[in-house]
Chain A
């Protein structure tokens, strides 16, 4: 990352983040199994931009998001929000810092307390962070409702009285209540119907413009990521294999996994149908287990181009052109 770091206004910096989950073995002296969910991830997000992480299930994208907002234990590495080292915060200092970074979850059903009225859900962050007076908070909650496209009188309703899309709007209102700088969106539209997805994506973009939000956007849907993100990282088995801006990644994908991922997406343009299907790069099998990792490139076992050295040494993520990084021996 020798690039012009100084020129860019970086809000979020992740340095060599590792999140390992593990258990001690019950046999004394025997090593336990360790799941390398996130294994050495570094990236930076410019203020006001959207950084996307794509990958398949088990790639570690959600764990990266959770660790960023300190909802998953960080094994190693550092997370900076501006000059604040989020990864070093503890207790009350961490709680108060949460004002600056919030999260929107995937499932709009299980992420809202069914016994609490919608207005209370949105007001709660204001209460906890002691923003404004008691009276002002109600007014703020009302404004937040309008901002996400809900009617003020709907504050009296319970979550089950809303549709999936409306619930996700409540989740968003709650996330932006404390006027955070960073909002982590963990698959925010995956659980929604296609017609509702567009409503929420448009809302996310409008809020970003109005409030100058920075998003860390996690998704498995490449179409959505291409639409909403400025810069995108592709993760495979806990590591970033390719990272580029939204145009380069799709026009000039370099990593064989990225290419396979892109070609696996069905195209709704029927002209491309036959061509697409025959040009598809087919991947065999499933990703290896994050417990017993291969010693070389983690993708080598499924890679159609793998050579001997791919199985021996892991490739490093290196810059191949301005703003485009790839971890592959063959590029």
Chain B
């Protein structure tokens, strides 16, 4: 990999479009998704299921199942290199070496018939041509660095012999084995208990600070976003509807969808009041991506929607330092 040109972010996806052929017609799974990430930065992608969070991650990795899926337009540049035209061999070099991915369910993403040590060593041998002995020694080091006790013994364990938290640590060990520049973590703690989630977050934060590894964290939990990320991209129905620094998104979000996502979750309050007003609801469900109208996809669920929202699709408008949102209320000078 060539060194990053000046002012070029580590990752830049521009107007990424992905379509899936389905029985009900063509689904526009991603619609002009753009995002940027600098080295050492943590970006959160948030939204409900079916909003395109995981699809964005898979497109960056070029892991969209094709057919039925296809990246129809856009560009993904990692340190200046455009990933989309690359052949599969070159792409395989990049996956696991420059970008790695951590999945939600560590049990199904680890191979049950190999020891965890073998699975970590595989990555070292493939990408760095390490000898078997060398790879085994480094595997133990890596397991130790992700906080696994007795790493030399654990390296010889099979995935089923480990707890959920340990398995997720092994997933992280595989992901960091070759020192990637970017880790994409897709709901890495959803299957884990909160106390174990806190351990995994500490580990990711440490990697991020110590090795300047950039992280894309996909989640539906605003608490996770607040805890872990520098910037946030909010997605709805395949589009980015709001983007900005974490403080702006959490405290001064301007898109009704983002506001709804924050308000609808009962937040743990260290000083709860006796009164319990009904929770804020986002009525309805995420629309089918095959039948999106010409207007704003969120309009049918939006309590602020007016005539223009059904007619035209809003583009993202800048509303402050690195903060933008796609909502007609902003163009009208009104506030959600």
Contacts and interface: CB of A to CB of B under 8 A. Distances in A.
Interface of A: 56-57, 163, 165, 193-199, 201-202, 205, 220, 222-224, 226-228, 246-247, 250-251, 260-262, 264-270, 273, 276-277, 280, 282-283, 285-286
Contacts of B220: 193-194
B222 A268 contact: yes
Contacts of A251: 270-272
Nearest to A246: B272
Contacts of A205: 276, 278
Contact of A165 (B264, B266, B267, B285): B285
B163 A250 contact: no
B225 A286 contact: no
A266 B220 CA distance: 13
A227 B193 CA distance: 19
Contact of B194 (A194, A247, A261): A261
Interface of B: 48-49, 149, 163-166, 193-199, 201-202, 220-228, 246-247, 250-251, 260-262, 264-272, 274, 276, 278-283, 285-286
Contact of B274 (A222, A247, A264, A286): A247
Contacts of B48: 193-196
Nearest to B196: A286
Given A261-B194, A261-B195, A195 B266 contact: no
Nearest to A277: B227
A329 B223 CA distance: 33
A198 B199 contact: no
Given A202-B278, A227-B279, A268 B265 contact: yes
A260 B195 contact: yes
27 contacts: A56-B194, A57-B164, A57-B193, A163-B285, A194-B220, A194-B222, A194-B261, A196-B285, A197-B264, A198-B279, A198-B282, A199-B283, A205-B276, A220-B194, A222-B194, A223-B268, A227-B266, A262-B268, A264-B194, A264-B198, A266-B224, A267-B267, A268-B262, A269-B226, A270-B247, A270-B250, A270-B251
Contacts of A268: 222-223, 225-226, 250, 262, 265, 267
A260 to B, nearest CB: 6
Contacts of B225: 268
A269 B267 contact: yes
Contact of B221 (A195, A222, A266): A266
Contacts of B198: 264, 280, 282-283
A261 B165 CA distance: 16
Contacts of A202: 278-279, 281
A194 B149 CA distance: 35
A226 B194 contact: no
Contacts of B261: 194-195
A250 B221 contact: no
Contacts of B260: 195
Contacts of A266: 197, 201, 221, 223-224, 226-228
B268 A250 contact: yes
A239 B149 CA distance: 28
Contacts of A196: 48, 285
Contacts of B267: 223, 267-269
A177 B22 CA distance: 38
A267 B193 contact: no
Contacts of A227: 266, 276, 279
B279 A267 contact: no
Contacts of A222: 194, 268
A223 B270 CA distance: 10
A305 to B, nearest CB: 16
Contacts of B199: 282-283
8 closest cross-chain pairs (CB), A and B: A266-B223, A227-B266, A198-B264, A56-B193, A266-B227, A195-B282, A198-B279, A268-B222
B269 A250 contact: yes
Contacts of A201: 266, 279
A220 B197 CA distance: 13
Contact of B265 (A198, A283, A285): A198
A222 B261 CA distance: 18
A261 B201 CA distance: 15
B193 A220 contact: yes
Given A198-B266, A222-B268, A267-B227, 16 more contacts: A165-B285, A194-B220, A195-B264, A198-B282, A201-B266, A223-B223, A224-B266, A226-B266, A226-B268, A246-B272, A250-B271, A250-B272, A265-B223, A268-B267, A270-B226, A286-B166
Interface centre among B223, B271, B280 (most CB of A within 10 A): B223
B280 to A, nearest CB: 6
A201 to B, nearest CB: 6
A287 B260 CA distance: 36
Nearest to A276: B227
Contacts of A165: 285
Contacts of A267: 223, 226-227, 267-268
Given A247-B272, A268-B225, A194 B195 contact: no
B163 A286 contact: yes
A79 B173 CA distance: 47
Contacts of B266: 198, 201, 223-224, 226-228
Nearest to B194: A264
Contacts of A197: 264-265
Contacts of B164: 57
B33 to A, nearest CB: 20
A92 to B, nearest CB: 40
A96 B274 CA distance: 38
Given A198-B279, A282-B198, A286-B196, A250 B265 contact: no
